[in-house]
Amino acid sequence: MTNAELITEAKKARERAYVPYSHHSVGAALVTKSGKIYHGCNIENAAYGPTNCAERTAFFRAVYEGEREFTKIAVVGGMEGTDGNALCAPCGVCRQVMMEFCNPKTFKIVLADGEDRQVEYTLEELLPLGFGPDNLDK
């Protein structure tokens, strides 16, 4: 799947965001090793702390379905009513969840602004010296 196709999937997921407080909707499209796509959107909560990001929503859905190997995720975010007006990088908690399931050297994170701009990083680039399951091996 091309980055452009994956970005389109992330935009579709973004349409389902529940953002009555910030009005900043985010969509994510996560690709498994087998090529299956899992979608996620951000889901806000009045208490803020229980809010869940789009990336974690996608990962948790996939893990629930039995998936454990992932290759790439696309993330699109911005204010409601826009196609995505800024690059929206995963928060630290989402990056940590990615470390649990992904190889930081090979897992790709595609960020798009909904228009023409897109960038791609590895998880290692966004979370250098990340802590993951390999750190617990004896």
For residue 73, the SS3 value is strand
Given 5, 9, 15, 55, the catalytic residue? 55
DSSP string, 14-35: HTT-B-TTT-EEEEEEEEETTS
Q: Is the CB of residue 55 less than 8 Å from the CB of residue 42?
A: no
Does the CA dihedral 91-44-64-136 come out positive or negative?
positive
In whole angstroms, give the CA distance from residue 123 to residue 100.
11
Q: Is 55 assigned a catalytic role?
A: yes
Could you list the active site residues?
Answer: 55
